Amino acid sequence: MKRGNWRGRRSRRHPHHPHHPHHPPAPDDDGSDWSMRNRPTDTPESSDTSSRSDAASSSRSNAPAPELPGFYFDPEKNRYFRLLPGHNNCNPLTRETLEEKERERKRTKLLAEDERARKKAPRTGLNSTLLLQRRRLGELSPSSYCRLVHEVKVSEMKRHKLEVQSADSSSPNTDNFRLIVADSACERVFTVNDVSHGGCKYGIMNFSGCRNGSLSAQMCDNLYFTNRKVNSVCWASVTHSDSHVLLCLVGISHTPGCVSLLPASLFSNSNPDQPGMLCSFKISTAWSCAWCLNPQADKTFSTGLSRSVIVTDAVTGRRQTYSTGSDVLAQQFALRAPVLFNGCRSGEIFSMDLRQRGRGRDHSWKSSRFHQDSAVTSVRLLQDENYLLAADMLGKIKLWDVRATRPVRRYDGHHNEYAYLPLHLCEREGLLLAVGQDCYTRVWSLRDGHLLRTIPSPHPAGKDSIPNVVFSSQLGGRRGLPGLLMAVCHDLYYYPYGDYQDGTVSEAQG
């Protein structure tokens, strides 16, 4: 190749190189620069392509990592960790510990959200100002307005810790609450605590409230101790309304179980000379109990046992036994008639009229029968006694039409697998409450089943730290305060409800 040709060929390459320092790009006929002419324009096709690529990359980054047998993917550290079997390692990473860590993270996050001054409304666009405007414009009926106002109040409840006052202030309560049951007026709450060395202790707390929003709790001095486990508790009206407490005690060793009827005056700091009627009925292990307030079965109570129901006259001791074929875990008497509703381990719910004499094995004495999918843990009658709420061990809560024996509404979100968990009905406020086995307290609208709020436990979730709650518009009696009372572990908390959100309580916010 000739030398001139090589130079010419090399010189022809340089003018077309856009970044050559000695040969700037030649302008085109229209005077535009090469770099401007070849710059990519933002056409719809190019923008769509770039957006699709960005979306694909973001979806890949947000997509969950594939599960590998024996490994756990930590999204924070972006790597896999081996799951170690057994408990012989110093710090085993098991699936149970990971699930517990995730539950605790969610609980802490929900607690932080509850501490915020402005909480999320239970329904979209629901607030007190808007409801009042709609009420004045005639868009809401009085009943609908009251129901929606109660829903707003539920979302605004804040947690406060209560100090339980007692004569012996030097020994604070260190035993975990097992049960709390309020009387019909919510003036007193019967408490059952697990004792560390075994057995239970029980007493009565008295509540009083002030109009500035403060609530105080006082425990009676004379607590009772027993080495038996308390299965079920209900208030009994023997001489007057809520004059006694009915307890089902589990038998131990060679000692059979029993049902004790204790006067509430025993748990009083005044120590009266005449405590009233005090009796005990020997009985096999009872799962549930209920007291009848209908005059046609005066001073009568029932106990749900394994495969049978026993109805007892508290004065004469006379008994009637009904064979059920399954363990009776939940009971409640109707008020208008001496009719007892029962929930069984088999999932069956049936009613029985005490005025009927037949108790044959054909179960013809059962007035109505319907079934849940699992063991029934709680039954609650509505005021008109045509509808009944039932909860089971699959976490399903249903509202049943007793006349048609069919469910008419469901309340989703409840969590239960094997625990005996009660329902709490507040028909005046149109609310339904239940504490799940995951230690969350959930509040539903009784009318349409909408989940209004999920309240996390102040303590880490555990089998022995499931909260017990009482909800009332008059905690402390006729002059009491509205709110939610929560007993968890050895602590007591109060959630003001309504117009007392900014009031002071006996202890700083927990």
Taking only the tens place, the pLDDT of each residue in 458-507 is 999 888 899 999 998 888 887 788 899 999 999 999 998 875 444 333 33
If pLDDT is split at 50, 70 and 90, which confidence band does 38 have? very low
**Confidence band, pLDDT 50/70/90 cuts, at residue 152:** confident
pLDDT tens string 339-384: 999 999 999 999 999 988 766 666 778 889 999 999 999 999 999 9
Q: Name the nearest CA neighbour of 310 among 285, 275, 293.
A: 285
At 209, give phi and psi (nearest 5°): -130, 155
Q: What is the distance between the alpha carbons of residues 221 and 167, in angstroms, rounded to a whole number?
A: 6
User: Crossing angle for the helix pair 142-155 and 128-136, nearest 10 degrees?
Assistant: 170
> Which phi-psi region, left, alpha or beta, contains residue 29 (left: φ > 0; alpha: ψ -120 to 50)?
alpha
| Contact yes or no for 328/338 (Cβ under 8 A) | no
Distance CA 321, CA 302 (A): 10
C-alpha span between 97 and 113 (Å, rounded): 24
Strand partners, 424: 433
Contact yes or no for 411/427 (Cβ under 8 A)? no
What HEC string does 42-86 produce? Answer: CCHHHHHHHHHHHHHHHHHHHCCCCCCCCEEEECCCCEEEECCCC
What mean pLDDT comes out for the span 227-237?
Answer: 91
Q: Which of 56-70, 91-105, 111-125, 201-215 has the highest mean pLDDT?
A: 201-215
pLDDT at 432: 96
Q: What is the mean pLDDT of the chain?
A: 80
Radius of gyration in angstroms for the set of CA atoms belonging to the chain, rounded to a whole number: 33
Is the whole-model pTM more than 0.85?
Answer: no
Residues contacting 39, CB < 8 A, separation 6+: none
Higher pLDDT, 269 or 197: 197
pLDDT the model gives residue 192: 93
User: 330: Cβ–Cβ under 8 A, 6 or more apart, which residues?
Assistant: 288, 304, 342, 343, 376, 377, 378, 379, 390
Nearest by Cα to 432 from 447, 451, 446, 448: 446
